[in-house]
């Protein structure tokens, strides 16, 4: 799977998605505490970790793909040292971080690649590592995506596409189910991203929640 993500990140870097923060990051930051430490799951091109570090957060950017990690390392300019660090993390496995470790957990299009069991585990782990009162922000594929119901169906709303990528597609009800531990702040289908706008997709699932 990491090789699939390596190719994906090479594509995103080539088209320049590492040059500016995502639309989701710019929107979600208004719901975060004014300061604190952040766990970023699936840093991808790495632009959001830089954005949050510049805002004053202490960011641990993680990914399974070496291309993403290498690019994220290059993003650590002298003025960001001490605020932005990078580690390899397989999100599909239990996190090694201690309970109540982070003020924020952030995931931009990075937790919709797993079957239902693993997906629930990921949300449970996000809850576990957040401090009480901490905030989670997640952007995911929508069942309204034109790719939904294409390729090989593995389970409800989960497909293996022609390129070998496996993707889960969320709606508001399924996000409620996976995120049930959290107190919801925002849950809607009004999300967007630069790459999805190209496909005409403007209804990604946005979730912001708080650990009770």
CATH number of the domain where residue 36 is located: 3.40.50.150
Q: Can you tell me the mean pLDDT for 104-126?
A: 97
Nearest alpha-carbon partner for 42 in 94, 97, 109, 96? 109
Domain span at 101:
2-211
What is the distance between the alpha carbons of residues 69 and 38, in angstroms, rounded to a whole number?
A: 17
pLDDT digits (tens, 9 = 90+) for 62-75: 999 998 888 888 88
Grouping H, G, I as helix, E, B as strand and the rest as coil, residue 29 is: helix
Strands 84-88 and 58-63: parallel
Residue 174 DSSP class: H
Please give the model's pTM, rounded to 2 decimal places. 0.90
How many domains does the chain contain in total? 1
pLDDT at residue 163, as a whole number: 85
């Amino acid at each position: 799977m990491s090789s699939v993500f390596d190719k994906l990140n090479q594509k995103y870097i080539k088209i320049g998605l590492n040059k500016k923060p995502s639309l989701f990051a710019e929107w979600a930051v208004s719901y975060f505490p004014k300061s604190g430490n952040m766990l970023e799951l699936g840093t991808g091109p790495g632009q959001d970790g830089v954005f949050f570090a510049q805002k004053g957060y202490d960011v641990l950017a993680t990914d399974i793909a070496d291309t993403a990690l290498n690019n994220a390392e290059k993003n650590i300019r002298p003025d960001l040292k001490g605020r932005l660090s990078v580690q390899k993390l397989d999100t599909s496995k239990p996190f090694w971080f201690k309970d109540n470790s982070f003020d924020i957990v952030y995931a931009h299009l990075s937790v919709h690649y797993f079957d239902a069991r693993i997906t629930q585990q990921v949300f449970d782990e996000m809850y576990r590592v957040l401090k009480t009162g901490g905030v989670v922000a997640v952007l995911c594929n929508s069942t309204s995506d034109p790719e939904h119901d294409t390729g090989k169906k593995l389970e409800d709303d989960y497909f293996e596409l022609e390129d070998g990528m496996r993707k889960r597609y969320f709606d508001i009800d399924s996000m409620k189910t996976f995120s049930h531990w959290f107190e919801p702040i925002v849950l809607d289908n009004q999300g967007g991203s630069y790459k999805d706008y190209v496909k005409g997709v403007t209804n990604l699932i946005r979730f912001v929640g708080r650990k009770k």
